[in-house]
Amino acid sequence: MLKRIYDWCIAAADKPYALWLLAAIAFAESSFFPVPPDIMLLPMSLAQPRRAWWFATVCTIASVAGGVLGYAIGALLYDSLGQWLIHLYGLSDKVDAFRASYAEWGAVIILVKGLTPIPYKLVTITSGFAGYNIWLFILCSIVARGGRFFFVAVLLNRYGDIIRKELEKRLGLWVAIGAIVLVLGFVVAFKLI
């Protein structure tokens, strides 16, 4: 089954809808979808290493746009659902301290977490909830998400053939490692919140 999915992703890289699918996944992942865009970025860049830069650009733009939606979710739902949850958990007295620390360290949080496997939607929603400056949020998101996706593009552009051979030889192992990293990202994110 993994091989069929992998083969479909490699074949999809040549299709006219591939960029739209990549953009849709990158957009959704930054605001509500649990699967990272790497599931399309990696196979597409392996299939066409010379276009890896373009794929990283599309991923970055869509991810930042999705991040703005995540920011809006955090900012707009705080007044309805957010306050109710905070009161339910007895954290009302900690909201101001959280916002103050996020105001001081928000750029570092966005930059670091945007580069890691920690789900980015948690960063975007938290930034909106904390009322972090939207323009600084967008700038940090461009740097963090661009850094992550262009790092992948550099690796796959330069070493794509070697990586593709290794990936195809041990596909199950690499998928398992990717799944473990994704789950660990969620665990770390929830421990930090």
Query: What was the pLDDT predicted at 97?
Result: 73
Q: Tell which wins on pLDDT, 106 or 84.
A: 106
Least trusted range by pLDDT, from 73-77, 150-154, 161-165: 161-165
Nearest CA to 65 out of 108, 147, 120 is that of 120
Mean pLDDT of the chain: 81
Q: What angle do CA 169, 181, 192 make, to 5 degrees?
A: 175
Dist. CA 159–CA 128, nearest whole Å:
38
Query: What was the pLDDT predicted at 13?
Result: 75
Quick: pLDDT tens for 156-182.
Answer: 888 777 777 777 777 777 777 777 776
Quick: pLDDT tens for 134-149.
Answer: 999 999 999 999 999 9
Query: What was the pLDDT predicted at 16?
Result: 82
Query: What was the pLDDT predicted at 44?
Result: 86
Check pLDDT > 80 for residue 25: yes
Side chain identity at residue 28, one-letter code: A
Check pLDDT > 80 for residue 187: no
Query: What was the pLDDT predicted at 149?
Result: 93
Check pLDDT > 70 for residue 84: no
Query: What was the pLDDT predicted at 2?
Result: 62
Query: What was the pLDDT predicted at 147?
Result: 93
Q: Tell which wins on pLDDT, 56 or 116.
A: 56
Burial of 95 by CB count in 10 Å (0-12 exposed, 13-18 middle, 19+ buried)? middle
Residue where the block lists tokens 């600084």: 136
Query: What was the pLDDT predicted at 144?
Result: 94
Q: Tell which wins on pLDDT, 80 or 131.
A: 131
Neighbouring CB atoms inside 10 A of 51's CB total 19
Dist. CA 77–CA 74, nearest whole Å:
6
Q: What are phi and psi of 32, to 5 degrees?
A: -155, -20
